Amino acid sequence: MDEESEHDQTRHAVVHRPIRKLGDPMLREIARPLCDLWTPKLRELVDDMLRAMLANGGVGIAAPQVGESLRLFILASRPNERYPYAPFMQPEAIFNPEIEWASEEVRKDWEGCLSVPGQRGRVTRAQRIRVRCLDPSNGESGVREYRDFVARIFQHELDHLDGILFPDRLEHGEELVSEAEYLKIRGLSAGTPL
């Protein structure tokens, strides 16, 4: 066994849950609201989602993408190879999210998705949102505000909970491109350092 395959085995041992891909019926379900407060099973799910997201270079991941039809996602903007200009934030687990208000100001920008590998598309999203979500430590709901790229991730992940994937949001079919073409358009190379 060479070093590389040993490394691969380690990586697979850590990522327990594979990412569901476009065509998987679970990605089209309306996810059910979370009723329980923090339970060991819920903490384990959040940890699994974080691991799967980090292993795949994502900045967000929704529970249905790892096979749980629950209204839960992780918001984790940070600069990385896929999104070199993303702002840094500590990952936040978001439960039972609802958008209370969205700005009329919108922006069309590139998105990708761990469940739609190798493709990017330009999607229009609100620039600012005010949201309500559950705090599972006390069962109360709270209001938060997000803007720009973080608001974009929020809207993308919330779509996952309603069975919507970013290609459904494209205004023009030609705005869906391969990852290779996207890198050319953005002047990036696959090996671009952070």
What is the size of the binding site for Zn ion (CB under 5 A)?
A: 1
Which residue number, 70 or 113, has a Cβ lying nearer to Zn ion? 113
Least distance in Å: CB of 4 to Zn ion?
A: 29
Say whether 181 sits in a helix, a strand or coil: helix
Say whether 118 sits in a helix, a strand or coil: coil
CA dihedral 175, 180, 186, 189 (to 10 degrees): 170
Using the contact rule CB under 5 A, the part of the chain among 34-42, 75-83, 106-114, 146-154 near Zn ion is 106-114
The tokens 């839960």 sit on which residue?
72
Other CB atoms within 10 Å distance of the CB of residue 154: 26
Which residue number, 42 or 113, has a Cβ lying nearer to Zn ion? 113
113 binds Zn ion per the rule CB under 5 A? yes
- Stretch 152-181 residues interacting with Zn ion (CB under 5 A): none
181 is catalytic: no
Tell me how far apart the alpha carbons of residues 81 and 38 are, in angstroms, rounded to a whole number.
Answer: 33
The residues that are catalytic are 157
**Contacts to Zn ion by CB under 5 A:** 113
